[in-house]
Amino acid sequence: MKMFLCNKMLCLVMAVAVAGGSFAGQSFHDLGDDHLFSNPDNWAQGKVPDDSTTNPGDLDPAFYTDATMWDNGAICVINDVHECYGLSIGAFNGSLEVVVQSVEGGDLTIGNWGLNISRNSHHSKLFMTGGKITTPYINIPNMDDPQKGTLIMQDGVIDSGWMNVSPGVDAVGEVKLYGGVINLTGFLEIDTPSGLIEVGGGSIVIDGDVTDLLGDYIDGFGGTEDPRIVPLPGYSVELDYDVTNQGRTTLKAVSDLAPQPANQAEIPYAEISSLDFTMPDPLVAGGSVSCDVYFGDAVWQSLNNTGAEDAYLAAGGVDGDWIPEPNNLPLIEADVIDGSVDVAATEAKEYHWQVKVYDDTVDGVVGGPKELAATYTFKFDAVANQAPVVEAGDDIYTWLDGGTASVTLQGVMVEDDEVPEPAVATWSVIEAVGLVPEGGGEAPDIDPSTYSFTPTDGTGLNAQLNVSVSGYYELQLDAADSEPLSAYPDTMTVYVRDDSCEVSKIHPDYEPMMGDANEDCYVDMEDFAAVAADWLGSVDAFFLN
């Protein structure tokens, strides 16, 4: 197993390019009454691509605008389940933003060709806030032209064979990974120094051991080139093989703030009582920092949020580098200095939280008015308290000894989230029925006063069942915590007979012993006499007939 740690670096904006063939497919012109992929009116051919389409889907605003499209706000939203033959974003006459959302399970499967982000001298972007894309490959951008392609992931999953970033020097391609997972069964290539993957959350998982290659991308081939994989300020890159994922290399970003709940964690909502983080150091020794903390459930801003981007540029941001943030996150507490804020998650859903860091260093001078120095965005999935799951065990066969039988019950707690506290198990008798009378008739119910349970530990899983009447006892093992839930109980049956022989004969695996003619579980002279009498009777019958 290998592990590699890269300390945080300054984020350098660099570029990538990718080669590929040309498409002649269906154009997305965004002329419908919405921006949805699923709306045929948004497609020039009046048809939404599917898995039977021989031509790929070209998400190309050819009839909508030109390369100045960003001023017009063209956008394509994938918020349900689709399939297509291939997909090229911004294919011919313009740039385009494609948003894959988690709403209604946003899901796109590309069945034959792959995913090309930007073509032909334009800048197009794929922005994932959730959902899933499955594709044979990813090119960012598609060709070695003066163009730019950008993949931005805040959440969601991409499953791909390989991902090629920067096969040529004239194109600009970039991956901004803030969350989610990119799974690759093939390779990751960043062939030239113009390629860049910025990591501030999320992970890239690749089959096999490629730690050496990724290590070269991270440290710039021993410092001989600019790095091609860089952590955002305030993050470190962790790299391991066969540790996080068996047989796979995992690259992930870890925040210096060490947030709790951890970024992208899944945690029962009843356990959420605070947001905790390590306070960042001031920019200059002797300075001071404070943090504003925002928390709630929110949708992500669109890349075409003109107002938010304008505000970013007005604050001195670099044109083209603005990244969306969650909309309308409420401010929970301002001027935090201890790294902890009390919150409550009231239901099971996805929550986001932000830490905005303010520093009093201005132009290297300490003591000025505090200015925004960094923004960290995290998310976690708050899940409901899950009902415990138990197993009662196999059926038990026993007999009375001295008029009583004591049966050891050993249940198993298969699943318990221990929220809001560990579950406690309970044994009960669902049905207790005696033996059919010798003269025939209906088997009677067994009097409850003739059996009892004695727990043998505090979990309730282990107990003794004490009985004094032969019959069968159908038992149920259940478990619960303080929240009323539909649990998943399990049942088993205890079969009791007057002696060991009788109970043996009702066992599913029972086979009489050879020679046990009277089936009393012994081979003795009584069996010999029975066999002899039967044989003699058969001989007499033969001669008499």
Query: Which residues lie across from 175 on neighbouring strands?
Result: 151, 197
- Residue-level pLDDT at 468: 95
Cβ-based burial of 130 (10 A; exposed 0-12, middle 13-18, buried ≥19): buried
C-alpha triplet 85, 101, 186: angle, nearest 5°: 50
Sequence-separated (6 or more) residues with CB below 8 Å from residue 220:
226, 227, 228
Q: Tens digits of per-residue pLDDT, 488-528?
A: 789 999 999 998 888 888 888 877 767 565 666 765 666 55
- Residue-level pLDDT at 291: 96
Element (H, E) at 207: strand 203-207
Sequence-separated (6 or more) residues with CB below 8 Å from residue 2:
209, 211, 239, 240, 241, 242, 243
CB atoms within 10 A of CB 204: 26
For the domain covering 389-505, report its CATH number: 2.60.40.10
DSSP 270: G
Is residue 473 within 8 A of residue 466, CB to CB? The reply is: no
**Alpha carbon distances (Å) from 90 to 74, 104, 122, 237, 369:** 11, 25, 7, 32, 44
- Residue-level pLDDT at 60: 58
Cβ-based burial of 508 (10 A; exposed 0-12, middle 13-18, buried ≥19): exposed
- Residue-level pLDDT at 42: 83
Query: Which residues lie across from 365 on neighbouring strands?
Result: 362
Nearest alpha-carbon partner for 134 in 51, 191, 195 = 51
Against a cut of 0.75, is the pTM above it?
no
- CA 366 from chain centre, in angstroms, equals 44
- Residue-level pLDDT at 542: 38
**Alpha carbon distances (Å) from 465 to 170, 432, 456, 473:** 79, 12, 11, 10
- Residue-level pLDDT at 105: 55
Burial 473-506 (b: 16+ CB within 10 A, else e): bebbbbbbbeeeeebebbebebbbbeeeebbbee
Instruction: State the residue for tokens 């995913």.
Output: 115
The type of residue at 418 is E
Sequence-separated (6 or more) residues with CB below 8 Å from residue 331:
292, 293, 294
Q: Distance between CA atoms of 422 and 479, rounded to whole angstroms?
A: 10
Q: Tens digits of per-residue pLDDT, 273-302?
A: 999 999 999 988 889 999 999 999 876 666
- Dihedral, CA of residue 366, residue 367, residue 371 and residue 376, to nearest 10: 70
Joined tokens for residue 192: 């030239």
pLDDT, tens digit only, all 545 positions of the chain: 443 333 322 221 212 222 233 445 677 777 788 888 888 988 878 888 876 666 666 665 544 333 333 334 467 788 888 888 888 887 665 556 676 655 445 788 888 888 888 776 667 788 888 889 999 999 988 766 667 888 989 888 999 999 999 766 777 889 999 888 999 999 999 977 888 999 988 899 999 999 999 999 999 888 888 889 999 888 999 999 999 999 999 999 999 999 999 988 888 888 899 999 999 999 888 899 999 999 998 766 666 566 777 777 777 776 666 677 777 789 999 999 999 999 988 888 889 899 999 999 877 788 888 888 888 888 888 887 778 889 999 999 999 999 999 999 999 988 877 777 788 899 999 999 999 998 888 999 999 999 999 888 888 899 999 999 999 999 999 988 776 655 678 999 999 999 888 888 888 887 776 756 566 676 566 655 665 566 555 544 433 44
Joined tokens for residue 521: 């579980």
- Residue-level pLDDT at 544: 42
Is residue 9 within 8 A of residue 257, CB to CB? The reply is: no
Nearest alpha-carbon partner for 144 in 171, 119, 117, 164 = 171
**Alpha carbon distances (Å) from 383 to 234, 290, 347, 350:** 28, 31, 8, 8
**Alpha carbon distances (Å) from 349 to 96, 270, 298, 352:** 31, 12, 10, 10
Cβ-based burial of 381 (10 A; exposed 0-12, middle 13-18, buried ≥19): middle
Strands 471-480 and 490-497: antiparallel
- Residue-level pLDDT at 64: 39
Joined tokens for residue 463: 């107990």
Beta strands in 25-171 (DSSP E): 26-27, 57-59, 75-78, 81-84, 87-89, 97-100, 107-110, 115-117, 123-140, 148-165
For the chain, report the end-to-end CA distance as a whole number of angstroms: 86
Instruction: State the residue for tokens 């009582």.
Output: 273
- Residue-level pLDDT at 203: 94
Q: Distance between CA atoms of 202 and 184, rounded to whole angstroms?
A: 14
| HEC string for 226-263 | CCCEEECCCEEEEEEECCCCCCEEEEEEEECCCCECCC
3-class DSSP state of 282? coil
